[in-house]
């Protein structure tokens, strides 16, 4: 079901034109550029925000940018596991993925969640295509060795959780060139054709690096990176991030997000943004205005 367009009758036509004109420099600047967007959090589960997200993606494509969506699906995986009487377990923010859990992850991410996103984008006039890391031999992976954060000699076995060996983006480039919007599930494959569940933030970050993307945007459930007093840090450098990790300000589930973002910034992605996905049209506001709706990360 598509929503009716937002009523803008309270905004004078001249003001509407002014708003559009202000977006022009940004449209010109990012025309033809690749944007990798990690889609997760409330933006992914709230119907009104889902609609906003789909509209934003289609608008960016229509004005000449190349958005690529990488999605997570933690809550959806948890509810699917609950339906079969299994409870998700986590070690240091990473999901323990045995063989049965991996089967669930594949059908939830590569099926249900991915096709929902493809459908949302297509319903508002885009042409989205769903992929997993198997398609076009895109994401080669190996078993992740998770060392204990307190005892570096101890290794945790978290099952079929993968780390990326390499990404071949040729299938993504072919789709982009053909006016399609790729929607990617973070599932990789190993040398014996086994499947691996990979952190979606890391897939988005690595893909942004390989594609030399203009921007990497991580939609999340928080305002961005906050200091100990709860204030938003709108601009972070590599050195400042190291300090925040060392003093425990950045911890838990934020660690892989930040690590991937920092790698991308150091590897040539011009700007990495951790964006509050609970703000309607946060992505458009971040790209087409100079307002900060989250944290921007720079390599230096």
Q: What is the pLDDT of residues 245-262, one digit of tens each?
A: 888 888 777 777 788 888
Cα–Cα separations (whole angstroms), residue 79 to 1, 103, 105, 112, 114: 24, 14, 11, 12, 16
Question: Containing H/E element for 201?
Answer: helix 200-210
Whole-angstrom Cα distance, residue 258 to residue 245? 9
Most confident of 35-39, 75-79, 147-151, 234-238: 35-39
- The arithmetic mean of pLDDT across residues 55-73, rounded, is 94
| Binding annotation for substrate | 73-74, 95, 197
| pLDDT for the residue numbered 4 | 45
Residue 164: inside a domain, yes or no?
A: yes
Instruction: Grade residue 1 by pLDDT with cuts at 50, 70 and 90.
Output: very low
- CB atoms under 10 Å from CB of 190, counted, come to 15
Residue 24: inside a domain, yes or no?
A: no
Residue 287: inside a domain, yes or no?
A: yes
The per-residue pLDDT for range 97-146, each reduced to its tens digit, is 999 999 999 999 999 999 999 999 999 999 999 999 999 999 999 999 88
| Binding annotation | 73-74, 95, 197
Whole-angstrom Cα distance, residue 235 to residue 138? 32
User: CATH number, domain at 285?
Assistant: 3.40.1160.10
Residue 266: inside a domain, yes or no?
A: yes
Residue 8: inside a domain, yes or no?
A: no
Enclosing domain of residue 56: 32-297
Residue 2: inside a domain, yes or no?
A: no
Residue 17: inside a domain, yes or no?
A: no
Is pLDDT of 3 > 50? no
Residue 278: inside a domain, yes or no?
A: yes
Q: Average pLDDT, whole number, for the chain?
A: 88
Instruction: Grade residue 74 by pLDDT with cuts at 50, 70 and 90.
Output: confident
The predicted model scores a pTM of 0.89
Whole-angstrom Cα distance, residue 41 to residue 219? 7
Q: Please give the tally of structural domains in the chain.
A: 1
- Return the closest-CA partner of residue 294 out of 223, 237, 226: 223
């Amino acid at each position: 079901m598509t929503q009716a367009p937002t009523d803008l009758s309270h905004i004078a036509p001249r003001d509407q034109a002014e708003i559009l004109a202000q977006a022009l420099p940004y449209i010109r600047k990012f025309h033809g550029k690749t944007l990798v967007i990690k889609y997760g959090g409330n933006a992914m589960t709230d119907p009104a925000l889902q609609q906003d997200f789909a509209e934003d993606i289609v608008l960016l494509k229509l004005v000449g940018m190349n958005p690529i969506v990488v999605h997570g699906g933690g809550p959806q995986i948890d509810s699917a596991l609950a339906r079969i009487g299994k409870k998700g377990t986590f070690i240091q923010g990473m999901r323990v993925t045995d063989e049965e859990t991996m089967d669930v992850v594949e059908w939830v991410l590569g099926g249900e969640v991915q096709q929902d996103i493809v459908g949302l984008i297509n319903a508002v006039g885009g042409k989205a295509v769903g992929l997993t890391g198997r398609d076009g031999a895109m994401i080669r992976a190996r078993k992740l060795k998770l060392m204990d954060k307190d005892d570096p000699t101890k290794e945790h076995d978290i099952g079929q959780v993968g780390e990326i060996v390499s990404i071949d983006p040729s299938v993504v480039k072919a789709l982009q060139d053909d006016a399609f919007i790729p929607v990617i599930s973070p599932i990789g494959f190993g040398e014996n054709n086994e499947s691996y569940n990979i952190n979606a933030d890391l897939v988005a970050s690595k893909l942004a690096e390989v594609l030399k993307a203009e921007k990497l945007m991580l939609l999340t459930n928080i305002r961005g990176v906050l200091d100990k007093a709860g204030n938003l840090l709108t601009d972070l450098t590599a050195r400042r991030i190291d300090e925040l990790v060392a003093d425990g300000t950045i911890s838990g589930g934020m660690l892989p997000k930040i690590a991937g973002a920092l790698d991308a910034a150091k590897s040539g992605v011009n700007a990495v943004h951790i964006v509050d996905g609970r703000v309607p049209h946060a992505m458009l506001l971040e790209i087409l205005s100079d307002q900060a709706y989250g944290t921007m990360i720079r390599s230096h």
